[in-house]
Structure 1
């Protein structure tokens, strides 16, 4: 990753604590600050950076293993058109959670967390007419509904990237995907974990020094039960009608996790 991209994210994290979702702009800077809790590297931690790894859990494509692995400074998620999840109408290559040397981090009700990272979306990873998620927030456990999804979706034939809060029924924001293909995009995501109307989120995408989108939603539901756990990778439906499903991949780097304390 370039030094300039790290500088952009560093500058964002160095701003006033009042920029955090759920805080008033008049909140004194000393009242709260971001505390770094997670800073893995692909070269040093590999897949040990995550709580779990869901690499072809149905064993549908042994010849393609591994689908998820560290390569240089990046984590790579590879998806082949022949890959199938345990539900055979979809595909899934994902990792979950934030593992540290003492275990894994738990995001619980009332806490505010921030994740920053960079992602490389190749032109072969296209938006689809059905779901293609590249980041989710969920309650751990089988069959639980997603709380937050960052998705690649075709809207009236246009490829977009969007952030949705499914249990709240809220579209946080949406922007064109094609300018972000074949380049690194910085992601800054913040969430206050709250039930009913006690939650909030902020979603920022930057391309170089340009802010592509910056959206905040407050008074929303961001909690089901137990805890919230992030997931990254490619999770997509095979029901696409646009002919966009191809062999593809996703790269992530410079993953960082912060808690507002």
Structure 2
């Protein structure tokens, strides 16, 4: 089992220009990242999130809970027998960023940043069909994701990627296997806007070195109401590579910032 990741993420939290988020021309002196969410798994536990989607179909109650706090980490367990309410897929996810009795509301025109560390064991493999480990969505049922961070087989190779879902725009993609069985730092930034008013930036770091740093501007990052982040394991059973097996994922040092 992986040990807790206690080191603070290496990304410096300075002004907007230092962050380099595309589409923002505001001088650094006029805008900066303000910490809005900093849960502790050991003390806040699952109260850190707005909602919990743990085996919604009660398909594997003997293994409950599938999502829980384990020391300083949030742990997501997935078993091959687990099923979502849509039986062609599996889903154990958490949504939103809760602060006590309230939660962050990401609105159109705002810019948000999420940083955290994730541990992906070699048992959590990329698949030929979808395996999402982070999504940006409009709350409620029936809407498509806005942004997805996914584990995908590309020409047989395991990769991790970020895409704008509806437009199928690839922001970036890199090899997954070098990131297996170790902690990877994630820095995700989103300017929320309709049409061409939005932008995203995606950074992965491992062992203090940048693995990938990609961004897209002039993209649509808003559907309606608000944007809400999701984390966990959400995967299709339609994989044809034989990659589905019992697995887990760990998240820690989760932080949420707003550019103000």
Taking structure 2 as the reference length, the TM-score comes to 0.96
Distance across 2 between alignment mates of 1:90 and 1:6 = 34
Distance in structure 1 (CA, Å) of the matches to 2:168 and 2:237: 23
**For residues 1-261 of structure 1, what are the structure 2 equivalents within 5 Å?**
1=4, 5-6=7-8, 8-9=10-11, 12-14=12-14, 16-18=15-17, 19-24=20-25, 27-261=26-260
Q: For the Cα contact (< 8 Å) 1:137–1:149, is it kept in 2?
A: yes
Give me the whole-angstrom Cα distance separating, in 2, the residues matched to 1:28 and 1:208: 32
Change (3 A) 1:223 1:61: same
- Contact 2:183–2:206 (CA under 8 A) maintained in structure 1: yes
Work out the number of aligned pairs and report it.
Answer: 255
C-alpha distance in 1 between matches for 2:9 and 2:104: 26
Contact 2:47 2:100 in 1 (8 A): no
- 1:28 deviation in Å? 2.4
Distance 1:63-1:80 versus aligned 2 partners, 3 A rule:
same
Is the contact made by 2:9 and 2:115 (CA closer than 8 Å) also made in structure 1? no
Query: Partners in 2 of 1:124 and 1:159 — Cα distance?
Result: 12
TM-score normalised to the size of structure 1?
0.95
Structure 1, unpaired ranges of 5+:
none
Shift of 1:168: 2.8
For 1:254 and 1:148, locate their aligned partners in 2 and report how far apart those are by CA, in whole Å: 21
Whether the 8 Å CA contact 2:51–2:95 is kept in 1: the answer is: yes
Q: How far did residue 2 of structure 1 move? A: 5.0
SS in 1 for 2:24: coil
